[in-house]
């Protein structure tokens, strides 16, 4: 099956994933989603003005978040570990950005380097890749498909792995404001805040370890105790928990 190219409302392009059936980015604007939900609220430029930054990029996809992070003005080095399940994502990225040096280099060697920044691509399921990582990160960009279609990426157990890897002053950014997602982050130990995002985008979530946050609305989170269940199984576990809670 082929991926369909979509022009989003800010004029930037994205693709629809042929099996998942969702676009890689918001139809309100792919480039503006990257800027407003990840780059600006993460204060990446300010962080890079103060010292080196390590970023965990969950869901490399077509590389928009990664490329935007690399283009932030900086006086210090940025290292990105990018996690992606599908090697085809890189080929799809090249459909949109033919000849892109970042994607070409990651596809050839799993590594990219420019004058001051580096990117390492970890191909495989995030749930396994993340368990091999031990260095702390200043930022995590969490950008899988939606919790309904990509449930394994939104569980208490996966967020607990991210909590383990985040520096005390770090932040996890995601586009979702779902109650079930925030409940999972909260149970994993995170403090939850809204990311202020200009219209037409809806706000996302900033999760951190320090300071004050919102009381998350009551919701049952997704769970994946062994970090290897299918999405169907993860959703069924939650539905069974909801049934038990209502009897
Ligand atoms: C919404 S797209 C990411 C868009 C990307 N951040 C960008 O800026 O172009 C979601 C990506 O997450 C990847 N993904 C989904 N489930 C995954 C998993 N379990 N492990 C690793 N990657 C996964 C998908 O293959 C897809 O490329």
Per-residue pLDDT band for 92 (boundaries 50, 70, 90) equals very high
99-131: buried (b, 16+ CB within 10 Å) or exposed (e) per residue? ebebbbbbbeeeebeeeebebebbbeebbebbe
Residue at 151 is within a domain: yes
- What SS3 state is found at 142? strand
Residue 65 has pLDDT above 70, yes or no: yes
Which pLDDT does position 187 carry in this prediction?
97
Angstrom CA distances, 222 to 52, 157, 174, 188, 204, stand at: 34, 9, 16, 12, 18
Task: Calculate the average pLDDT of the chain.
Answer: 95
How far apart are the CA of 85 and the centre of ligand 1, in A?
7
Which pLDDT does position 196 carry in this prediction?
81
Q: Which helix (H) or strand (E) holds 205?
A: strand 204-208
Q: What is the mean pLDDT of residues 122-127?
A: 98
Which pLDDT does position 125 carry in this prediction?
98
Residue 226 has pLDDT above 70, yes or no: yes
Q: What is the mean pLDDT of residues 207-216?
A: 93
Residue ID of nearest Cα to ligand 1 atom 17: 85
Residue 2 has pLDDT above 90, yes or no: no
Residue 220 has pLDDT above 70, yes or no: yes
Question: Which residues are near ligand 1 (CB < 6 Å)?
Answer: 24, 34, 59, 61-65, 83-86, 89, 125-126, 143-145, 150, 152-153
Residue at 10 is within a domain: no
Q: What is the pLDDT of residues 151-188, one digit of tens each?
A: 999 999 999 999 999 999 999 999 999 999 999 999 99
Residue 199 has pLDDT above 90, yes or no: no
**CATH number of the structural domain spanning residue 110:** 3.40.50.150
Task: Note whether 130 and 209 are within 8 A (CB).
Answer: no
Residue at 15 is within a domain: no
Percent above pLDDT 90 for the chain: 92
- What SS3 state is found at 214? coil
Domain region containing 199: 29-245
Q: What is the pTM of this model?
A: 0.97
Q: What is the mean pLDDT of residues 190-217?
A: 89
How far apart CA 242 and CA 247 sit, in angstroms, is 9
- Helix 179-187 to helix 156-165 angle (10° resolution) is 50
Q: What is the mean pLDDT of residues 193-220?
A: 89
Residue at 150 is within a domain: yes
Ligand 1 atom at minimal distance to the Cα of residue 63? 9
Choose one of 84, 124, 162, 172 to mutate for the ligand 1 pocket test, by most ligand atoms within 8 angstroms of C-beta: 84
Ligand 1 atom at minimal distance to the Cα of residue 68? 8
Angstrom CA distances, 147 to 37, 43, 49, stand at: 17, 26, 34
Task: Note whether 56 and 137 are within 8 A (CB).
Answer: yes
Residue at 126 is within a domain: yes
Q: What is the mean pLDDT of residues 77-104?
A: 97
Residue bearing tokens 């995170």: 190
Q: What is the pLDDT of residues 136-160, one digit of tens each?
A: 999 999 999 999 999 999 999 999 9
Residue at 236 is within a domain: yes
How far apart are the CA of 86 and the centre of ligand 1, in A?
8
How far apart are the CA of 63 and the centre of ligand 1, in A?
10
Which pLDDT does position 1 carry in this prediction?
59
Residue 14 burial (CB < 10 Å; 0-12/13-18/19+)? buried
Residue 201 has pLDDT above 90, yes or no: no
Q: What is the mean pLDDT of residues 189-196?
A: 94
How far apart are the CA of 125 and the centre of ligand 1, in A?
10
Residue at 13 is within a domain: no
Q: Both tokens of residue 147? A: 């919790």
Residue ID of nearest Cα to ligand 1 atom 15: 144
Domain count, the chain: 1
Residue at 14 is within a domain: no
Q: What is the pLDDT of residues 23-44, one digit of tens each?
A: 999 999 999 999 999 999 999 9
Q: What is the mean pLDDT of residues 87-107?
A: 97
Residue ID of nearest Cα to ligand 1 atom 9: 62
Q: Which residue has the higher pLDDT, 209 or 202?
A: 209
Q: What is the mean pLDDT of residues 231-238?
A: 97
């Amino acid at each position: 099956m082929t991926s369909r190219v979509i022009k989003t409302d800010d004029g930037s392009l994205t693709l629809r994933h042929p099996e998942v059936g969702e676009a890689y980015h918001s139809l309100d604007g792919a480039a503006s989603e990257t800027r407003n939900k990840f780059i600006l609220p993460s204060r990446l430029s300010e962080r890079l003005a103060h010292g080196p930054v390590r970023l965990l990029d969950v869901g490399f996809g077509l590389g928009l978040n990664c490329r935007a992070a690399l283009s932030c003005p900086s006086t210090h080095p940025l290292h990105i570990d990018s996690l992606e399940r599908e090697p085809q994502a890189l080929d799809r990225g090249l459909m949109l950005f033919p000849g892109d040096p970042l994607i070409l280099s990651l596809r050839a060697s799993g590594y990219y380097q420019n004058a001051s920044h580096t990117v390492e691509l970890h191909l495989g399921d995030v749930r396994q890749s993340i368990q091999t990582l031990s260095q702390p990160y200043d930022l995590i960009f969490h950008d899988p498909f939606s919790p309904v279609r990509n449930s394994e990426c939104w569980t208490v157990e996966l967020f607990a792995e991210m909590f383990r890897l985040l520096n005390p002053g770090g932040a996890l950014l995601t586009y979702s404001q779902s109650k079930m997602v925030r409940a999972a982050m909260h149970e994993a130990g995170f403090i939850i805040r809204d990311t202020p995002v200009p219209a037409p985008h809806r706000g996302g979530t900033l999760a951190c370890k320090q300071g004050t946050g919102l009381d998350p609305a009551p919701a049952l989170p997704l769970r994946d105790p062994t970090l290897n269940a299918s999405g169907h199984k993860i959703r069924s576990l939650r539905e069974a928990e909801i049934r038990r809670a209502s009897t």
